Chains A and B, each alone.
Chain A
């Protein structure tokens, strides 16, 4: 197993542009999570999927953010009309279904810089 992969690893964009990130979870993991990490802070939960169903969205996830997981495999996170405050590391994690709490395996992240 190659682990969780994310693409691209880095993205530089201009304010107002749309960006899309992709996450490929560990195969057979039915849960997929998105987190955002800013400099000097711990990761903050954004949203998660159980198979293809998006079960929870954080209040941090404004209307400009949308996530999908078609067919319950890979996931995409799109940010429309990016703002400088969106600059952060976007982390994806996957796990098996619990209970008990299954370990979340994290990808290397996509670092976004909005100019």
Chain B
């Protein structure tokens, strides 16, 4: 069975600083990987996804993530954060041909301070 571990429950950072949110997964088979963002009182919104091909994936709002198969990681990065990036971020995984069922990590709360 797959599992997802987000290594930091909270990440405080100052505005315009770089940020990395860490995600590790475990699976014995190939997987698809996702990052979702959840703003207060809103549903989850897809930031980016890795299906195949280039291991560096670019998403919305200036975010990117790198798939590292040997380290089973899919860390999310942004070179310069804004106050508006304050939100909860979730890493998720699903297996090929499994109906799309997503397994989520526990979430990382990103808090951007002025």
On whether the beta carbons of B51 and A101 are closer than 8 Å, the reply is yes
* Residues A99 and B96 in contact, CB atoms below 8 Å apart: yes
**In the complex, A45 has a CB within 8 A of chain B:** yes
Counting chain A residues whose Cβ lies within 8 A of the other chain, the interface size class is 20 to 34
- Nearest residue in B to A101 (C-beta to C-beta)? B32
B36-60 Cβ-contact flags toward A at 8 Å (1 or 0)? 1000011111100101100000000
**Residues in A33-85 with C-beta less than 8 Å from chain B:** 33, 35, 40-45, 48, 50, 55-56
Give Cα A50–Cα B106 distance, bound, in whole angstroms. 27
Check A28 for interface membership: any CB of B closer than 8 A. Answer: no
CA distance A100 to B4 in the complex (A): 21
Any B CB within 8 A of the CB of A103: yes
Complex formed: what's the CA distance from A35 to B101 in Å?
A: 10
Q: B114 at the A/B interface (Cβ < 8 Å)? A: no
B interface size (C-beta, 8 A): 27
**Inter-chain contact B94/A56, CB cutoff 8 Å:** no
- CB atoms of B104 and A44 under 8 A apart: yes
Which chain B residues lie closer than 8 Å to A101 at the CB level?
32, 49, 51, 94, 96, 100
Q: Output the nearest chain B residue to A100 by Cβ-Cβ distance.
A: B51
- What is B's interface to A at a CB cutoff of 8 Å? 4, 6, 32, 36, 41-46, 49, 51-52, 90, 92, 94, 96-97, 99-107
